[in-house]
Amino acid sequence: MRRLSRLLAIAAVGLALAAVWEGYKLIGQSIGPEGGPSWLPVATDDLTMPHTWDILAAFVEPVQRGRSETLAVFLLRSAWFTLREAALGFAIGAIVGLGLALIMLRSRFLDRGLVPWINISQTVPLIALAPIVVTWGRTTFLSDTQAVSLIAAYLTFFPVAVNGLAGLKSPDPASVELMRSYAASWWQTVIKLRLPAARAYLFPAFKLAATLSVVGAIVGEISAGVRGGLGRVILDFAGRYTTGPEKLYAAVVAAGLLGLFVFWLANLAERRAMRGRAVELS
Amino acid sequence: MESTTDATEPAVAIRGVVKVFGAGTDEALTAIDGIDLTIAPGEFVSLIGPSGCGKSTLLRLIADLLPLTGGEISVFGKSAEAGRVDQDYGMAFQSAGLFDWRTVAANIELPLELMGWSKADRRARSAEMLELVKLPEFGDRYPWQLSGGMQQRVAIARALAFRPRLLLMDEPFGALDEMTREHMQNELLAIVADLDTTVVFVTHSIPEAAFLSDRVVVLSPRPGRIHSIVDVPMQARTAELREHSEFFKTATEIREALRAVEATIPSAGAPEPSPSTGEAAE
Ligand SMILES: Nc1ncnc2c1ncn2[C@@H]1O[C@H](COP(=O)(O)OP(=O)(O)OP(=O)(O)O)[C@@H](O)[C@H]1O
Ligand SMILES: [Mg+2]
């Protein structure tokens, strides 16, 4: 019941957004020349703002004249390609992030010395970094798609490292003292106390990292020139915008849905991992 | 003033113990300044005194959770550190400090897990301990599904799970209402009598100290020293004792000692002499 009402609420907001889009378009076209009056920030002709139903219809039309595959299936295939890159990137980022958090927990020196560098790492624009990673990858055994995963990992390790460290440090002193009274080793304290306590910090980071991994994979594909994924599709459709603007919009919707899907996966994982506690929180 | 000097090794021997927090800095604070105390095996000793006089600090020193500034502490003839590493003591504090991601049984089993007990042995022992603290039905619940008094009983079960010879308790019943408190006191006495456990018990409550203890150590305000020790006459500690005249006599004696101690609290913050730190801990 709760689930149904939530779905209804989401659908209602989606419809409202579509209505705003169509409303804006309608106003522009009814008061101005073709494309709307020049004082509107975005022109309202069908090339700039295709109708929402045209975008939806594009999904079931063939992806290209003469091909039987529909756009939806084509996008699904591309999304699957990107998802695999993103998943690998997420896994690498999560492991690296958690590893860094543990290192910073272990060493006060690295805690102080590493944090600024981790912060700086995220100020480097991904677009600038991606070609470097791809170039490096080509000199080693890495394939271009694996290089794309690395680019995704570059985005995902950050929230995991930062939140992970906060989570590992979150147990109260009394709990830490209790473990010490048991003469527990550093690792035992991490496994039995710090990691379980860190879950409440790690899962929000995982959710963020999951969506970032999709962003990283798409941007990585575009700058690495990898074909087969959503990044390339977006690039291609942008190049052929004038002959089919709704296709680009459809691809953007697909990218958004892919992000939503991985977020949902991470959310599901959180619920499973936080079972027990969740009863009280909800 | 020592009650018995029999041939058996003392459970806890405290000699000339000094604790200075932040020694060497201008914020140096002498919490304990020269305490001698010998506790016999099986004895129940309470520490009572004004707030901030160093009761918790003394307990933490015995538990080897804080480094000594001077003097020495031995636990069953060994250093306090060896006592901790050998798991000679169990600890229970004012807040139960249970891990809320573990079931009640898993909380009790935590120290056993760290000691490498098999799963079957752990199960058996936690069931036994739950029986002992009269919560046999609650093993599969989570701590937050229990009342404060029940949580406290679980914490005591955890502290006693591996049958330590020594039990260190810091105001374990402080957060409980009067009825639960008396009930818990009776249960604690039954349990420690059963297992022949030595107890060092910090409390603010005069009746509690008078009811539970063999000896009550009254500490003077900071820097903590022993003001006096009240011997409690040997008696069957039953519910009737609470109404017995001997009980009131003991309580009065403790109260008078505490009054004498409170009277020595300086009204102005006189600078305290910093003790020599030549006698460093090993
Ligand atoms: N980790 C610490 N660092 C610095 N000072 C401390 C620390 N722990 C305790 N102290 C100080 O040592 C003194 C004794 O503290 P302690 O906690 O042992 O008092 P207590 O007798 O247990 O008091 P209460 O009855 O209020 O619990 C206090 O003045 C306290 O401020
Ligand atoms: Mg205290």
Question: DSSP letter string over A255-275?
Answer: HHHHHHHHHHHHHHHHHHHTT
Would you call B100 and A277 a contact, using CB atoms and an 8 Å cutoff?
yes
Is the pLDDT reported for residue B108 higher than 50?
Answer: yes
Mean pLDDT for all residues in chain B: 84
pLDDT at position B37: 92
Are residues A187 and A69 part of one domain?
yes
> Looking at ligand 1, which atom is closest to the CA of residue B171?
27
Report the 3 state secondary structure along A117-176.
Answer: HHHHHCCCCHHHHHHHHHHHHHHCCCCHHHHHHHHHHHHHHHHHHHHHHHHHCCCCHHHH
Amino acid in position A14:
G
Q: How far is the CA of B65 from the centre of ligand 2 (A)?
A: 14
Lowest mean pLDDT among A28-32, A212-216, B122-126, B166-170: A28-32
Is the pLDDT reported for residue A278 higher than 60?
Answer: no
Is the pLDDT reported for residue B174 higher than 90?
Answer: no
Are residues A164 and A28 part of one domain?
no
**pLDDT tens track for A181-198:** 999 999 999 999 999 999
**pLDDT tens track for A132-144:** 888 888 888 888 8
Are residues A147 and A90 part of one domain?
yes
pTM of the model: 0.82
pLDDT at position B51: 87
- Coil, helix or strand at residue B108: helix
Would you call A183 and B84 a contact, using CB atoms and an 8 Å cutoff?
yes
Q: How far is the CA of B86 from the centre of ligand 1 (A)?
A: 27
Are residues A265 and A144 part of one domain?
yes
> Looking at ligand 1, which atom is closest to the CA of residue B60?
18
Are residues A131 and A83 part of one domain?
yes
pLDDT at position A34: 66
Is the pLDDT reported for residue B125 higher than 90?
Answer: yes
Q: Tokens for A35?
A: 């494309």
Mean pLDDT value of segment B45-63? 91
Would you call B91 and A277 a contact, using CB atoms and an 8 Å cutoff?
no
Query: Does A177 touch chain B if contact means CB atoms closer than 8 Å?
Result: yes
pLDDT band at A60; cut points 50, 70, 90: confident
Nearest CA in chain B to A280: B144
Would you call A181 and B89 a contact, using CB atoms and an 8 Å cutoff?
yes
Mean pLDDT value of segment A196-221? 94
Are residues A4 and A71 part of one domain?
no
Are residues A241 and A107 part of one domain?
yes
pLDDT at position A41: 79
Q: Using beta carbons and an 8 Å cutoff, which residues of B are at the interface with A?
A: 60, 63, 65, 84-85, 87, 89, 91, 93, 95, 97, 99-103, 110-111, 113-115, 142, 144
Query: Does A196 touch chain B if contact means CB atoms closer than 8 Å?
Result: yes
The CATH number of the domain where A264 resides is what?
1.10.3720.10
CB B19 less than 6 A from any atom of ligand 1: no
ipTM above 0.95, yes or no: no
Please report, rounded to a whole number, the percentage of residues in chain A having pLDDT higher than 70: 95
SS3 content of chain B, % helix, strand, coil (to 5): 35, 20, 40
Size of interface A-B (CB pairs under 8 A): 47
User: CA dihedral defined by B148, B138, A170, A274, rounded to 10 degrees?
Assistant: -130
Is the pLDDT reported for residue A169 higher than 80?
Answer: yes
Rounded Cα distance between B168 and B156, Å, is 10
Mean pLDDT value of segment A78-93? 95
Q: Which residue has the tokens 């550093």?
A: A186
**pLDDT tens track for A62-74:** 888 788 888 899 9
pLDDT at position A25: 86
> Looking at ligand 1, which atom is closest to the CA of residue B19?
12
Residue B95 backbone phi and psi in degrees, to 5? -90, 140
Rounded Cα distance between A81 and B205, Å, is 69
Contact A224, A148 (CB under 8 A): yes
**pLDDT tens track for A226-243:** 889 999 999 999 998 888
Query: Does A170 touch chain B if contact means CB atoms closer than 8 Å?
Result: no
Burial classification of residue B116, based on how many CB atoms lie within 10 Å of its CB (0-12 exposed, 13-18 middle, 19 or more buried):
exposed
Query: Does A193 touch chain B if contact means CB atoms closer than 8 Å?
Result: yes
Would you call B101 and A276 a contact, using CB atoms and an 8 Å cutoff?
yes
Are residues A190 and A59 part of one domain?
yes
pLDDT at position B280: 41
Is the pLDDT reported for residue A259 higher than 80?
Answer: yes
**pLDDT tens track for A109-133:** 888 888 889 888 888 888 888 888 8
CB B158 less than 6 A from any atom of ligand 1: no
Q: Look at the alpha carbons of B138, B139, B141, B146 in this order and tell me if their dihedral is positive or negative.
A: positive
Number of domain units in chain A: 2
Residue to mutate, B57, B169, B227, ligand 1, most ligand atoms under 8 Å from C-beta: B57
pLDDT at position B3: 43
pLDDT at position A35: 64
Would you call B97 and A174 a contact, using CB atoms and an 8 Å cutoff?
yes
Are residues A271 and A167 part of one domain?
yes
Q: Domain range spanning residue A192?
A: 50-281
Are residues A153 and A201 part of one domain?
yes
pLDDT at position A200: 92
Are residues A101 and A179 part of one domain?
yes
Gap between the terminal Cα atoms of chain B? 27
Are residues A240 and A110 part of one domain?
yes
pLDDT at position A244: 85
CB B52 less than 6 A from any atom of ligand 1: yes
Atom 16 of ligand 1, nearest CA residue: B54
pLDDT band at B1; cut points 50, 70, 90: very low
Residue to mutate, B25, B47, B55, ligand 1, most ligand atoms under 8 Å from C-beta: B55
**A-interface mutation test, from B91, B108, B114, most A Cβ less than 10 A away:** B114
pLDDT at position B236: 63
Would you call B110 and A196 a contact, using CB atoms and an 8 Å cutoff?
no
pLDDT band at B278; cut points 50, 70, 90: very low
